[in-house]
């Protein structure tokens, strides 16, 4: 069977948890022209993320031909492999496929990414559809999924539980269900083919201008049946719509094995410490990357909240180093470190690097 063939039967596919071993982390060196005068500083922040992750696991860095020389000059040698590809954006969590296991093999789940619902704030770009090139770029088989989504729209514990938001996956700009259909049940039946047996539906934030309320902006699995949730406790800032409702939903939920979900709050950085206040500004501690030996998160200059977030992550991942990086300009583009990364799982029987 050609690896380019789309497999419609995804039975026995399992999406690993973030903390399971990675063969590498796929990232992109493709700062789009929408960053304009900030291109240089965004590249500097992105470089820091890439180099930090490379201390703990290999980084496979996609770069378009026009950026190859720059990428090679910045990242020659070490634990970073430069891969030429027609990529034109940095948000690999969404524009790349999600890597999973099908039996003993690594596969790439194609979520039919449609540029975040075709939002007018973020026009479609040709290099945003990397799943279709799963064989030529990533060297693995592509597994099809019948609905539209993206990697940041969900989190999973690797044991059959998935958390997502209605505001994103049930948004008509992604999945326009017919009137009268039970939208959640239809989606759950398809996700069951990917080993998902319990879906916890949060409301999310439909007013979020690009992602329509990605769950990875405020919720993070740290172990089976255990999540961190970012709460907004700030006298100057109203919490996002439905945030407290979503926290209560998680506190009352069970995972796929019937265990009660344990919830711990992480307080978001306070507005008086923010560097930016634009519509895309996303100061998120929990939009973090769990590498093989570390957790890489962001810091935002609110010393008390930064340190509290670090302490919480250290308790949640006691065997991993905690590194917090300054990514204000990237965050002002609507995403965080989790959004920049796409881990590739290790095939069964392989040894972690």
Those residues whose C-beta lies under 8 Å from the C-beta of residue 52, and which sit 6 or more positions away, are 294, 296, 323, 325
| Contact yes or no for 54/78 (Cβ under 8 A) | yes
| Contact yes or no for 288/313 (Cβ under 8 A) | yes
How far is the first Cα of the chain from the last one, in angstroms, to the nearest whole number? 28
Tell me, rounded to whole angstroms, the distance of Cα 282 from its chain centroid.
14
Which residues, in sequence order, are bridge partners of residue 110? Answer: 144
Specify whether 25 is catalytic: no
Alpha-carbon distance of 24 to 99, in angstroms, equals 11
Alpha-carbon distance of 118 to 124, in angstroms, equals 7
- Tell me the three state secondary structure of residue 226: strand
Alpha-carbon distance of 180 to 178, in angstroms, equals 6
| Contact yes or no for 164/219 (Cβ under 8 A) | no
- Tell me the three state secondary structure of residue 201: strand
- Tell me the three state secondary structure of residue 13: strand
Nearest by Cα to 286 from 10, 18, 5, 11: 18
Which residues, in sequence order, are bridge partners of residue 161? Answer: 198
Per-residue exposure over 141-158, b if at least 16 CB sit within 10 Å of its own CB, e if not: bbbebebbbbbbbbbbbb
Q: What is the CA radius of gyration of the chain?
A: 19
Nearest by Cα to 63 from 2, 137, 123: 137
HSE on the CB side for 214, CA within 13 Å? 28
Handedness of CA 85, 90, 94, 99 (dihedral sign): positive
Which residue numbers are catalytic?
Answer: 339
């Amino acid at each position: 069977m050609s690896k380019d063939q789309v497999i419609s039967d995804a039975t026995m596919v399992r999406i690993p948890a973030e903390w399971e071993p990675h063969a590498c982390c796929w990232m992109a060196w493709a700062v789009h022209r929408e960053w304009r005068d900030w291109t240089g500083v965004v590249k500097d922040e992105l470089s820091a993320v890439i180099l930090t992750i490379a201390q703990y696991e290999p980084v496979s860095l996609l770069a378009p031909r026009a950026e190859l020389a720059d990428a090679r000059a910045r990242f020659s040698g070490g634990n970073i492999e430069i891969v030429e590809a027609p990529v034109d954006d940095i948000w690999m969590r969404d524009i790349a496929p999600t890597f999973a296991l099908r039996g003993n093999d690594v596969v790439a789940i194609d979520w039919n990414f449609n540029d975040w619902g075709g939002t007018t704030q973020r026009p479609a770009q040709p290099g945003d559809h990397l799943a279709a090139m799963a064989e030529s770029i990533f060297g693995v088989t592509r597994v099809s999924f019948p609905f539209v989504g993206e990697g940041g729209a969900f989190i999973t514990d690797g044991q059959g539980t998935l958390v997502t938001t209605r505001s994103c996956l049930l948004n008509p700009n992604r999945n326009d269900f017919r009137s009268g259909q039970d939208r959640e049940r239809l989606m759950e039946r398809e996700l069951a083919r990917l080993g998902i047996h319990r879906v916890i539906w949060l409301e999310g934030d439909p007013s979020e201008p690009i992602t329509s309320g990605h769950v990875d902006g405020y919720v993070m699995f740290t172990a089976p049946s255990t999540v961190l949730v970012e709460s907004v406790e700030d006298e100057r800032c109203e919490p996002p719509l439905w945030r407290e409702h979503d926290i209560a939903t998680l506190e009352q939920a069970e995972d796929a094995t019937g265990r009660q979900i344990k919830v711990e709050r992480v307080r978001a950085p306070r507005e008086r410490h923010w560097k930016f206040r634009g519509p895309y500004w996303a100061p998120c501690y929990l939009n973090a990357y769990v590498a093989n030996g570390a957790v890489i998160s962001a810091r935002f200059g609110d010393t008390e909240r930064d340190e509290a977030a670090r302490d919480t992550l250290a308790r949640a991942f006691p065997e991993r180093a905690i590194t917090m990086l300054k990514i204000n300009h990237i965050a002002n583009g609507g995403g965080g470190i989790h959004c920049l990364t796409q881990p590739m799982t290790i095939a069964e029987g392989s040894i972690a690097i």
